[in-house]
Structure 1
Amino acid sequence: MPVLPSSITDPLWDQCQALLPKRAVAAHPLGCHRPRIPDRFVFDKLLARLVLGGTYQQHADHTCSATTVSARQDEWIANDLFERLHRLALKAYDEAIGLDLENLVVDGCIAKAAGGGQNTGRSPVDRGKSGLKRSVLVDGGGLPLGWVLAGANRDDSPLLRPTLEALRLFGFHPPPSITVHLDAGYDSQPTRALLEELGCAGRINPRGQFVPINHTHRWMIERTSSWHNNRGFKALAIVTDRRAVAQDAWVALASAVIVIRRLLRRAWTACRWDARPARRP
């Protein structure tokens, strides 16, 4: 049974296939060379691990071994495949629906990382166990634009600058007026100085005052954090990869799935195409 609907996996794989480098198929002179596992098999295994979590060995079977999945993932990471998939998904959404870059929201969420590794630290919300923090930047509709990975013991405020710079790294041209929505953890003079330096307006929840989240724009990123951690991506909720490049690749792949799912949902009522799902995603 597929872990994701074909309306999401098929366009994602079509774009992935277009980004993969062309490989010459060389036949062994004795006819005994083991053929290369098709990329689509490996891609489906990666999607299964993203959604279900677990180790590579748990998702291996007679069609594809754990070593093949891990090696092919490293090969694709070296080609920036997952980051490019995420950027192309955002570009398609921007052309079809339009990104809300006038309202940006930044916040951090903590995931378990019991095995330690890079970008991990003592989690203040999990009895000092090892954890990973994702400082995520989303647009006004909650679509993930960029992120910064750090240890769970890192404060949110120092991660704000590199998180906001992800908008420039992804090639978007922000509008002249930008409002950055932040929670009380960013209520400090350095944060206001940074926003003034970047030419952004800030709406920061004041410390010591309860502000219902539905009265602010911050509920968008709370929903995105729920998409990452609790709704369908167990590889992000429990981080088992120790290398930073692998951790970043999983976030990029999950974010691409989120953007495509949202694009299908928004376009379902306004557009018609041959492979349009019978029901609204």
Structure 2
Amino acid sequence: MRRHELSDEEWEVLSGLLPRAETGRPRRDDRVVLNGIVWKLRTGPAWRDVPERYGSWRTLYTRFRRWALDGTFTRMLETVQAQKDVGGDIDWLVSVDSTITRAHQHAAGARKKGAAPSEAAHTHALGRSRGGLTTKIHLACDGLGRPLGFVLTGGNVNDCTQFEQVLARIKVYRPGPGRPRTRPDHLLGDKGYSTRHIRNYLRKRGIPHTIPERVDQQANRRRRGSSGGRPPGFDKDRYKHRNVVERCFNSLKQYRAIATRYDKTRESYEAALTLASLLMWI
């Protein structure tokens, strides 16, 4: 096993999750192809610069795009999460947060049919700010710092606007009939999620939460006196566990193709994040 390649333990799990071709000519060995894809995501070069030991770069890119577009990586991640849940290996103390990744100049230029350049950038989760093009990853992780679900937007999108979408991405399927689990035991978030709408949403769903109140909200409540209501509950000791989401981002950004976005399309960047998340769960 070379540096940045799959270990035997990782391949043993992944080999049972990959789709099998029933007909057609034999395709290049899946382990070699996956090793090439993982090597590319870890090191961050262009597809054309992937070493020849992994075969043609066109084969790697075609297989990666096919699995990205048909949902293969997503189904693999859902399967592993379901297996972990059956074994009681998911900590449902969930933390939410976001991180911004700089988009390389090669990430610009993808267009959606009939869309203006500005609309295409929004479609592919690119936002322009003073620093240039950026993408924001809105993510929820379990208590051990493993991704449960994420949403991509442009870097200029506010965290609180994507809160419900992030929670909607948490779907851990269970064996047999029944709906997947979507509700955390407890949720942790920083002051960016301290809004009345979010707190009401969590109360309606029966999700206990620890979110600190912003200074301006505290001042506004005091100014209103008794009509301002009671301050929301805050468990300082439990809130200390929120750092797991920061460690989760740190682990994801060990992949250089995630720390800096080179992919033009949302689908490819989502697939890179999904594959990195899958390896973290394994």
Q: What TM-score range do you get, normalising by the shorter chain?
A: 0.7 to 0.9
Counterpart Cα distance in 1 of 2:236 and 2:5: 34
Quick one: structure 1 residues 212 and 48, their matched pair in 2 at CA, closer, same or farther if it must change by over 3 Å? farther
Correspondence list, 1:210-229, <5 A:
216-229=240-253
1:60-116 deviation digits (Å, cap 9, x = unpaired) = 426522222111112222331111121122122223342122x21110011111233
Counterpart Cα distance in 2 of 1:95 and 1:81: 21
Counterpart Cα distance in 1 of 2:137 and 2:204: 24
Query: What is residue 247 of structure 1 aligned with on the other side?
Result: 269
Instruction: Tell me if 1:76 matches 2:73.
Output: no
Give the letter for the 1:109 counterpart: T
Superposed displacement of residue 203, structure 1: 0.8
2:159 to 156, 159, 184: 156
TM-score, normalised with respect to structure 2: 0.77
SS at match of 2:241: coil
Answer yes or no: is the 8 Å Cα contact 1:146–1:163 preserved in 2: yes
Instruction: Tell me if 1:64 matches 2:64.
Output: no
Query: What is residue 117 of structure 2 aligned with on the other side?
Result: none
Query: What is residue 11 of structure 1 aligned with on the other side?
Result: 12
Query: What is residue 193 of structure 2 aligned with on the other side?
Result: 186
Query: What is residue 106 of structure 1 aligned with on the other side?
Result: 96
1:157-204 deviation digits (Å, cap 9, x = unpaired) = 0100010011247663256x7321110111111221221232212211
Correspondence list, 1:253-264, <5 A:
253-260=275-282
Quick one: structure 1 residues 6 and 168, their matched pair in 2 at CA, closer, same or farther if it must change by over 3 Å? closer
Answer yes or no: is the 8 Å Cα contact 1:77–1:245 preserved in 2: yes
Give the letter for the 1:11 counterpart: E
Give the letter for the 1:24 counterpart: T
Counterpart Cα distance in 2 of 1:169 and 1:63: 33
Query: What is residue 265 of structure 1 aligned with on the other side?
Result: none
Answer yes or no: is the 8 Å Cα contact 2:171–2:181 preserved in 1: yes
SS at match of 1:217: helix
Aligned length: 242
Counterpart Cα distance in 2 of 1:203 and 1:187: 10
Deviates more, 1:75-84 or 1:55-64: 55-64
1:131-166 deviation digits (Å, cap 9, x = unpaired) = 111111111222211000001100000100010011
Q: Which runs of 5+ in 1 are unaligned?
A: 27-34, 261-281
SS at match of 1:21: coil
Give the letter for the 2:126 counterpart: T
Answer yes or no: is the 8 Å Cα contact 1:213–1:219 preserved in 2: no
Deviates more, 1:166-175 or 1:215-224: 166-175
1:18-66 deviation digits (Å, cap 9, x = unpaired) = x31324244xxxxxxxx74333322111010121112101104265222
Superposed displacement of residue 122, structure 1: 2.3
